[in-house]
Amino acid sequence: MNICVIGTGYVGLVTGACLAEFGMNLICVDNDIQKIDLLKQGKVTIYEPGLENLVAKGMREGRLRFSSNIEEGLKTSLVIFIAVGTPPREDGLADLQFVEEVAKAIAHWMDGYKVVVMKSTVPVGTARWLRDLIQRQQMKPIPFDVVSNPEFLREGSAIEDFMRPDRVIIGAESEQAIAIMKDIYSALYLIETPFILTSLETAEMIKYATNAFLATKVTFINEIANLCEKVGADVHHVAKAMGLDGRIGKKFLHPGPGFGGSCFPKDTRALSRIAREKGYVLRVVDSVIEANEYQKERMVKKIEEMVGDVRGKRIGILGLSFKPNTNDIRESCAIAIIQGLLKLGAKVKAFDPAAMEETKTILPEVEYGKDAYDVAKGADALVLVTEWNQFRRLDLSHIKALLKEPIFIDMRNVYDPESMRRLGFRYCGVGR
Query: Would you give the DSSP letter of residue 427?
Result: E
Smallest gap from residue 156 Cβ to ligand NAD (A): 9
- CB count in 10 Å sphere of residue 339: 16
Smallest gap from residue 36 Cβ to ligand NAD (A): 9
Query: CA separation (Å) from 59 to 11, 22, 210, 402?
Result: 18, 13, 34, 47
Residues 83-122 contacting ligand NAD, CB under 6 A: 83-86, 98, 101-102, 120-121
Q: Taking CB positions, which residue lies at the least distance from ligand NAD? A: 9
> Of 4, 18, 228, 263, which one is the catalytic site residue?
263
204 is a site residue for ligand NAD (CB under 6 A): no
Query: Would you give the DSSP letter of residue 404?
Result: S
171 is a site residue for ligand NAD (CB under 6 A): no
DSSP output for 295-315: HHHHHHHHHHHHHS--TT-EE
Residues 236-275 contacting ligand NAD, CB under 6 A: 262-263
CB pairs under 8 A, 24+ apart, for 183-188? 183/1, 184/1, 184/3, 184/19, 184/22, 184/24, 184/79, 185/22, 186/22, 187/22, 187/23
Contact, 119 vs 15, CB < 8 A? yes
Contact, 14 vs 81, CB < 8 A? no
Q: By CB under 6 A, which span of 28-36, 220-228, 290-298, 417-425 interacts with ligand NAD?
A: 28-36
CA distance 121 to 214: 15
Q: Out of 12, 123, 171, 324, point to the residue binding ligand NAD (CB under 6 A).
A: 12
Q: By CB under 6 A, which span of 27-35, 190-198, 384-392, 402-410 interacts with ligand NAD?
A: 27-35
Q: Catalytic residue at 18?
A: no
CA distance 353 to 371: 8
Contact, 23 vs 188, CB < 8 A? no
369 is a site residue for ligand NAD (CB under 6 A): no
Q: Out of 3, 4, 5, 7, point to the residue binding ligand NAD (CB under 6 A).
A: 7
Residue 198: which residues within 8 A CB-CB, separation 6 or more? 169, 170, 171, 206
Q: By CB under 6 A, which span of 25-33, 217-225, 296-304, 421-429 interacts with ligand NAD?
A: 25-33
CA distance 344 to 173: 55
Amino acid 327 reads: N
CA distance 415 to 424: 13
Give the alpha-carbon dihedral of 126, 127, 133, 138, to 10 degrees.
160
137 is a site residue for ligand NAD (CB under 6 A): no
6 is a site residue for ligand NAD (CB under 6 A): yes
Contact, 112 vs 74, CB < 8 A? no
413 is a site residue for ligand NAD (CB under 6 A): no
Q: Out of 31, 138, 198, 210, point to the residue binding ligand NAD (CB under 6 A).
A: 31
Residue 404: which residues within 8 A CB-CB, separation 6 or more? 314, 378, 379, 380
126 is a site residue for ligand NAD (CB under 6 A): no
Contact, 43 vs 27, CB < 8 A? no
Residues 70-89 contacting ligand NAD, CB under 6 A: 83-86
Smallest gap from residue 62 Cβ to ligand NAD (A): 23
Smallest gap from residue 31 Cβ to ligand NAD (A): 4
66 is a site residue for ligand NAD (CB under 6 A): no
Q: Out of 48, 145, 151, 331, point to the residue binding ligand NAD (CB under 6 A).
A: 151
Smallest gap from residue 424 Cβ to ligand NAD (A): 40
Q: By CB under 6 A, which span of 30-38, 278-286, 297-305, 389-397 interacts with ligand NAD?
A: 30-38
Smallest gap from residue 13 Cβ to ligand NAD (A): 8
Nearer to ligand NAD, 116 or 225 (CB): 116
Cα within 13 Å of Cα(396), Cβ side: 20
Smallest gap from residue 341 Cβ to ligand NAD (A): 27
210 is a site residue for ligand NAD (CB under 6 A): no
CA distance 361 to 349: 15
Smallest gap from residue 82 Cβ to ligand NAD (A): 9
Nearer to ligand NAD, 35 or 131 (CB): 35
Which positions are annotated as active-site residues?
A: 263
Binding site for ligand NAD (CB under 6 A): 6-12, 29-32, 35, 83-86, 98, 101-102, 120-121, 151, 153, 155, 262-263
